[in-house]
């Protein structure tokens, strides 16, 4: 596990590598963000953005989503994985927003997770990006990078990773660190073929050192 000074170095280095790290899901309001993040489960942001380009032209409000037959909404998001389930959840959460939240997306994570298809990760993204509430959403990139670098333990659950990162990173940096970890994992420390040879964090990275040793042995 990395010490405080090493963690600081990692955060600063990622900040230099990805100074413009941000949420890559296109949206223009909190409701669109909820829909986009719900669609993004087990799917790339690039594909979601392709689909929402037309989707957000057609559907502007929660009422719009529940005013069409489920089959029509399914057809509009058909190119996205699990589209039937996601269409069902989008209609359910739209109805819930109308009936229980005055058509407003809640600012509170505990309220957000009550919405169908919205888990803890989704809720953290929404409160952080839409409402500037400090949060760390742990997706596959954040989890992978945190474990490879030794910010967390290999056996940690997603919730453990979130709690550990919150404890080790200053609260004011939670949201920007979440985006930088994602960019670092998406564009540098990839699941397959991470760029260990050119990584400025190689000296601190237990996983990177192992991978480089294996390469040298071959």
Annotated catalytic residue within 76, 86, 139, 168: 139
How many C-beta atoms surround the C-beta of residue 156 within 10 A?
Answer: 18
**Rounded distance, CA 153 to CA 134, Å?**
23
The confidence score (pLDDT) of residue 216 equals 86
Annotated catalytic residue within 53, 86, 114, 121: 121
How many C-beta atoms surround the C-beta of residue 173 within 10 A?
Answer: 14
Question: What six digits make up the tokens of 206?
Answer: 């237990």
The confidence score (pLDDT) of residue 206 equals 87
The confidence score (pLDDT) of residue 42 equals 86
- Record the pTM: 0.91
* Alpha-carbon torsion angle 181, 183, 186, 191, nearest 10: -20
The confidence score (pLDDT) of residue 63 equals 98
Nearest to 12, CA basis, from 204, 144, 186: 204
Active-site annotation holds for 156: no
Nearest to 142, CA basis, from 129, 134, 152, 132: 152
**Rounded distance, CA 89 to CA 48, Å?**
16
Active-site annotation holds for 86: no
Mean pLDDT per 10-residue run, the chain (218 residues)? 94 97 96 95 93 97 97 97 95 97 94 93 94 95 96 96 97 96 96 94 93 86
């Amino acid at each position: 596990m990395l010490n405080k000074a090493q963690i600081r170095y990692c955060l600063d280095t990622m900040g230099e590598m990805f100074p413009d790290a941000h949420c890559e899901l296109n949206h223009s309001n909190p409701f669109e963000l909820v829909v986009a993040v719900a669609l993004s489960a087990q799917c790339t942001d690039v594909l979601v953005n392709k689909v929402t380009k037309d989707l957000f032209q057609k559907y502007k409000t929660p009422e719009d989503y529940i005013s069409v037959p489920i089959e029509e909404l399914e057809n509009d998001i058909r190119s996205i994985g699990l589209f039937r389930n996601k269409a069902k959840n989008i209609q359910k959460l739209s109805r819930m927003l109308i009936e229980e939240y005055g058509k407003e997306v809640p600012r509170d994570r505990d309220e957000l997770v009550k919405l169908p298809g919205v888990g803890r990760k989704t809720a953290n993204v929404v409160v952080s990006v839409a409402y500037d509430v400090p949060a760390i959403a742990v997706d596959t990139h954040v989890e992978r990078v945190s474990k490879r670098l030794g910010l967390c333990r290999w056996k940690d659950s997603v919730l453990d990773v979130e709690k550990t990162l919150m404890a080790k990173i200053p609260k004011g940096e939670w949201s920007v660190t979440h985006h930088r970890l994602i960019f670092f994992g998406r564009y540098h420390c990839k699941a397959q073929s991470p760029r260990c040879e050119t990584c400025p964090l190689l000296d601190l990275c237990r996983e990177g050192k192992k991978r480089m040793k294996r390469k040298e042995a071959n």
